[in-house]
Chains A and B, each alone.
Chain A
């Protein structure tokens, strides 16, 4: 086994082979591809953990009485950890995983700017996960993922402190990872890779990283105060001693609303890639999509108080309502650009494409729900009802999670050298789509009818609708099992592929699958227009890539 060093600061790589083994995911590695897969594997683990909790929640809510839980406190704990795990340990790290794996490849770089920092940022996540889950051993947090005081300061057991410490670690990890992305994208682009030639996924990661760098410090500040209130006897959030409960809400939402875009913007980048490749069409409005990501990042900082309409000074409601409505504009630009991209395309209904198309339909629905909640009078009526639960699950599951699925089906061949099973993928899509629709649409209806969120027992009038929701949620659970089975099966039995099974034009496809230790053998050869599908030059370029990076069987026979 030889060891080579590429450039100062990038560390060394063994040249044993391109394939990354399962054992590699448990070791300290500086290779951005290993780190990317570490993020993704740990996120999938937490998806199973958080998803199991979701199943338990829906089991409890099958009937109006307490069935599974001994009391409402247990339900509060379950719902708190479910939300926290899904947001902080599943979606956000999964997006970071895609970014780590793909950004250097798409840019034509050998690695991220700071490989050691990259590995360090990842390895903060497992202890954070342990802290979050281990809270159960000392009394789990019960204040919801938003952890509003005084619930989180006076009424939640010690696990709440561990929850805050866990988020502290995750925040630091997020900031360090984001710094790495910004520096990599700014400095590591090879000659010729101008910002207007960057793939849209890279644009999206850049916008996300900017949000993380600027918003996460506020969570750090808030969590510091929360921990002090819980452990050091301070009273920052105790109005009785001169503190202020709204202080937490302001600080928390100043981070957590932008965090919504941390969870969705990388997915927006992924869907742009998937749609163009599988529709064989140039991206419609490349610059509009790239710049709208930046606009969302910017405007996202001005909307946090729409989460606090019921507690906000009335004079501030209208300005925040306006900014919240405005953010629909760049999002709408993206939707129209994606529709323009697939319009008239030669669409291949692969599992990746199905999830991308499914995302557009669900996200439009979820987005319109967001417009409802941005309107002050409607929000005041719907506040703390299941309408809110339905809305954010629609945009997080129908949005972020659908895009994660699309991204996994699309880039799995690149990461493993094998294709995922399409039949199982299509079955996964159908069950997920139906499950998503019938889980979260009825939640909107139940919320509009007045069903409050965060309750284990409810008015028997809501029994039927809750039964529908729970059964659909169980279907989602089954669909996730199909997905996990497909991943595990495809890792060993998936069809072997060459460097470019989808005939993509972005640079990650212009190398072997999986890529070699330093990503490219020799200098990568970028195509002039990363979305120039259908152009006269693209055919010969793609043929040349296919000849250079054939599927293994063909290579053996050559």
Chain B
């Protein structure tokens, strides 16, 4: 829906929602920043990280999953734009692809969570961070699938775009949060 067609009150509502979502994203991402700092402080107490005798997990599979997550965010963005332009068919395809890539990411990280050997503080931190992110990805992914149903039922449309726009914003959040975690968990 173009801004010109909105009443001043609707424009204010849209502005409030966008500002609110941005502030929420900034605020909640700091929980992830906190966990990154936790990781740093804990690894600082050890002569090497992973601690001696513990094998670091391979970055290959989660690296590919990260690329898939990035692609899913791009697809979610494209889908929202398609919906705004009134093209529900394009939205459906792009949104489903975004959801599928998101689901794949969740499966890969869940596999990582399950397959990391128990090794004390290293696996504790690894599992805590991946689980914390997984919970967010699952919750927001579920919300995105509800948006798909909303579009099918006509509740979410070019005239009522905010649910899709908000869900996309939250999915960006999942991506940024993972981009904070991935290097700390797998690369550094």
Stretch with Cβ within 8 A of A (4 or more), from B31-39, B71-79, B106-114, B163-171: B31-39
Interface contact B120-A113, CB-CB below 8 Å: no
Interface contact B46-A8, CB-CB below 8 Å: no
- Residue in A closest to B9 when the chains form the complex, CB atoms: A7
Interface contact B46-A182, CB-CB below 8 Å: no
Residue from the list B9, B15, B34, B51 in contact with A220, Cβ < 8 A: B34
Contacts of B46 in A (CB 8 A): 242
Known: A8-B10, A187-B12, A221-B31. A243 touches B121 (CB 8 A): yes
Q: Does B45 belong to the interface (CB within 8 Å)?
A: yes
Q: Does A251 belong to the interface (CB within 8 Å)?
A: yes
- Cβ distance A229 to chain B, nearest Cβ, rounded Å: 9
- Cβ distance A153 to chain B, nearest Cβ, rounded Å: 13
Contacts of A525 in B (CB 8 A): none
Interface contact A187-B27, CB-CB below 8 Å: no
Contacts of A246 in B (CB 8 A): 41
Known: A113-B16, A220-B31, A222-B34. A213 touches B45 (CB 8 A): no
Q: Does B23 belong to the interface (CB within 8 Å)?
A: yes
Q: Which residues 34-69 of B have a CB within 8 angstroms of A? A: 34-35, 37-38, 41-42, 45-46, 51
Q: Does A372 belong to the interface (CB within 8 Å)?
A: no
Known: A236-B124, A241-B120, A241-B121. A114 touches B41 (CB 8 A): no
Interface contact B38-A242, CB-CB below 8 Å: no
Known: A179-B23, A243-B42, A244-B45. A234 touches B124 (CB 8 A): yes
- Residue in A closest to B23 when the chains form the complex, CB atoms: A179
Contacts of B35 in A (CB 8 A): 221
Q: How far is the CA of A179 from the CA of B9 in the complex (A)?
A: 20
- Cβ distance A25 to chain B, nearest Cβ, rounded Å: 26
Known: A113-B16, A187-B16, A228-B128. A217 touches B42 (CB 8 A): no
Contacts of B142 in A (CB 8 A): none
Interface contact A8-B13, CB-CB below 8 Å: yes
Contacts of B186 in A (CB 8 A): none
Q: Does B1 belong to the interface (CB within 8 Å)?
A: no
Residue from the list B17, B27, B41, B121 in contact with A235, Cβ < 8 A: B121
Residue from the list A216, A218, A222, A236 in contact with B42, Cβ < 8 A: A236
Contacts of B38 in A (CB 8 A): 221, 225, 236, 247, 251
Interface contact B16-A114, CB-CB below 8 Å: yes
Most buried by B among A8, A113, A114, A242: A242
A-B contact count (CB 8 A): 105
Q: How far is the CA of A136 from the CA of B37 in the complex (A)?
A: 34
Interface contact B30-A225, CB-CB below 8 Å: no
Interface contact A217-B121, CB-CB below 8 Å: no
- Cβ distance A376 to chain B, nearest Cβ, rounded Å: 22
Q: Which residues 11-26 of B have a CB within 8 angstroms of A? A: 12-13, 15-17, 19-20, 23-24, 26
Number of residues on chain A facing chain B (CB within 8 A) = 38
- Cβ distance B80 to chain A, nearest Cβ, rounded Å: 20
Contacts of B20 in A (CB 8 A): 113-114, 117, 179-180, 183
Contacts of B132 in A (CB 8 A): 224
Interface contact A8-B128, CB-CB below 8 Å: no
Contacts of A221 in B (CB 8 A): 31, 34-35, 38
Interface contact B34-A251, CB-CB below 8 Å: yes
Interface contact A236-B121, CB-CB below 8 Å: yes
Interface contact A183-B23, CB-CB below 8 Å: yes
Residue from the list A7, A188, A217, A244 in contact with B30, Cβ < 8 A: A217
Contacts of B19 in A (CB 8 A): 113, 182-183, 186-187
Q: How far is the CA of A186 from the CA of B18 in the complex (A)?
A: 12
- Residue in B closest to A180 when the chains form the complex, CB atoms: B20
Contacts of B13 in A (CB 8 A): 7-9
Q: How far is the CA of A213 from the CA of B120 in the complex (A)?
A: 33
Interface contact A188-B12, CB-CB below 8 Å: yes
Q: Does A175 belong to the interface (CB within 8 Å)?
A: yes
Interface contact A8-B9, CB-CB below 8 Å: yes
Q: Which residues 425-457 of A have a CB within 8 angstroms of B? A: none
Q: Which residues 1-34 of A have a CB within 8 angstroms of B? A: 7-9
Q: How far is the CA of A388 from the CA of B127 in the complex (A)?
A: 39
Most buried by B among A9, A221, A247: A221
- Cβ distance A244 to chain B, nearest Cβ, rounded Å: 6
Interface contact A217-B34, CB-CB below 8 Å: yes
Residue from the list B28, B51, B120, B128 in contact with A225, Cβ < 8 A: B128
Q: How far is the CA of A56 from the CA of B30 in the complex (A)?
A: 39
- Cβ distance B68 to chain A, nearest Cβ, rounded Å: 27
- Cβ distance B38 to chain A, nearest Cβ, rounded Å: 6
Q: Does A250 belong to the interface (CB within 8 Å)?
A: yes
Interface contact B121-A213, CB-CB below 8 Å: no
Interface contact A218-B34, CB-CB below 8 Å: yes
Q: How far is the CA of A91 from the CA of B132 in the complex (A)?
A: 31
Contacts of B45 in A (CB 8 A): 239, 242, 244
Q: Does A318 belong to the interface (CB within 8 Å)?
A: no
Interface contact A244-B12, CB-CB below 8 Å: no
Residue from the list B10, B23, B124, B125 in contact with A182, Cβ < 8 A: B23
Known: A9-B16, A187-B12. A247 touches B41 (CB 8 A): yes
Q: How far is the CA of A179 from the CA of B18 in the complex (A)?
A: 12
Contacts of B120 in A (CB 8 A): 235, 241-242
List 5 tightest A-B contacts by C-beta distance, closest first. Answer: A242-B121, A221-B34, A217-B30, A7-B9, A9-B13
* 30 residue pairs from A and B, CB less than 8 Å apart: A7-B9, A9-B13, A9-B17, A113-B19, A113-B20, A114-B16, A179-B23, A179-B27, A182-B19, A186-B19, A187-B16, A187-B19, A188-B12, A213-B27, A214-B26, A214-B27, A217-B27, A217-B28, A217-B29, A221-B34, A221-B35, A221-B38, A234-B124, A235-B120, A236-B121, A241-B120, A243-B124, A244-B41, A247-B42, A251-B38
Contacts A218-B34, A242-B121 given; 11 further ones with Cβ under 8 A?
Answer: A175-B24, A179-B27, A187-B16, A213-B23, A218-B30, A220-B31, A224-B128, A236-B125, A243-B124, A244-B41, A251-B37
